[in-house]
């Protein structure tokens, strides 16, 4: 049996990440990887997400987002934060 490395990260995306479907694409890509959490736009033009699940799946998700047409990620800041219990889905939040 292989144990996965469960973690939760706050991920900040900077660049051309608003007004192009970034949050929706992130939501579906996270769900496809069995990740939970949320994503929202920020007033400064960045996108903030809290993503929980397998550490490798989170890294894979971030790499996949960088390869999507029309999205330009100029910077990413990843911070490990405490796990959230009882979270079963990935959702889009408002400001």
Give a yes or no: residue 19 inside a domain: no
> Quick one: average pLDDT of 11-18?
96
Q: How many domains does the chain have?
A: 1
Residue 82 pLDDT level (bands cut at 50, 70, 90): very high
For residue 48, what are the domain limits? 43-84
pLDDT of residue 3: 52
Residues with catalytic roles: 23, 41
pLDDT of residue 47: 97
CA distance 2 to 86: 22
Give a yes or no: residue 15 inside a domain: no
pLDDT of residue 1: 46
CA distance 21 to 52: 21
pLDDT tens-digit series, residues 31-58: 999 999 999 999 999 999 999 999 999 9
Give all strands of the β-sheet with 90-92 in edge-to-edge order. 72-81, 6-16, 47-54, 36-41, 90-92
Query: Chain-wide mean pLDDT for the chain?
Result: 93
Give a yes or no: residue 58 inside a domain: yes
Q: Are 55 and 5 in contact, with CB atoms under 8 Å apart? A: yes
């Amino acid at each position: 049996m292989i144990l996965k490395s469960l973690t939760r990260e706050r991920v900040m995306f900077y660049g051309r990440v608003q007004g192009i479907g970034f949050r929706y694409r992130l939501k579906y890509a996270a769900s496809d990887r069995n990740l939970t959490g949320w994503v929202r736009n920020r007033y400064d033009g960045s996108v903030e997400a809290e993503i929980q699940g397998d550490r490798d799946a989170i890294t894979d998700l971030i790499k996949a987002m960088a390869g999507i047409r029309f999205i330009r990620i100029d910077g990413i800041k990843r911070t490990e934060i405490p796990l959230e219990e009882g979270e079963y889905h990935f959702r889009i939040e408002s400001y």
